[in-house]
């Protein structure tokens, strides 16, 4: 959490704006913070995450798992494949 707070403070520092723009190509305004963690393997893992989410909510920080990243990407790929099918670019 300390690292996340430090990043938030850094992104909000006026003297860091030019460096951030150089590295990212833009300066985020009010960046949202998240912690990316490993895979959820069991119900106990999910319960542990749920048990601390209220603490993170106070900090305006989200926990994101690799499972969520993979699921979101899978949904995007499937949606794009469906569009390509409708346009006749890939066989059914």
Q: Is residue 27 part of a domain?
A: yes
Please tell me the distance from the alpha carbon of residue 42 to that of residue 58, in angstroms, as a whole number: 26
For 23-73, the DSSP string reads: HHSS--SS--EEEEE----SHHHHHHHHHHHHHHHHHTEEEEEHHHHHHHH
pLDDT at 5: 84
Q: What are the average pLDDT values for consecutive 10-residue runs of the chain, which has 92 residues?
A: 85 90 88 84 81 78 88 94 86 59
Q: Is residue 90 part of a domain?
A: no
Q: Is residue 28 part of a domain?
A: yes
Domain around 48? 2-65
Q: Is residue 29 part of a domain?
A: yes
pLDDT at 92: 54
Q: Is residue 20 part of a domain?
A: yes
pLDDT at 74: 95
Q: Is residue 25 part of a domain?
A: yes
Q: Is residue 85 part of a domain?
A: no
Residue labelled with tokens 């998240």: 34
Cα separations in angstroms, 73 against 45, 70, 79, 81: 22, 5, 10, 12
> What total of structural domains would you count in the chain?
1
Predicted TM-score (pTM) of this structure: 0.56
């Amino acid at each position: 959490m300390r690292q996340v707070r430090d990043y938030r403070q850094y992104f909000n520092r006026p003297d860091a704006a030019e460096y951030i723009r150089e590295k990212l190509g833009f300066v985020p305004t009010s960046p949202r913070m998240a912690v990316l963690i490993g895979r959820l393997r069991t119900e106990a893992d999910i319960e542990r995450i749920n048990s601390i989410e209220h603490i993170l909510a106070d900090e305006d920080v989200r926990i994101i798992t690799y499972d969520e990243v993979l699921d979101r990407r899978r949904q995007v790929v499937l949606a794009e494949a469906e569009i390509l099918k409708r346009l006749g670019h890939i066989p059914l």
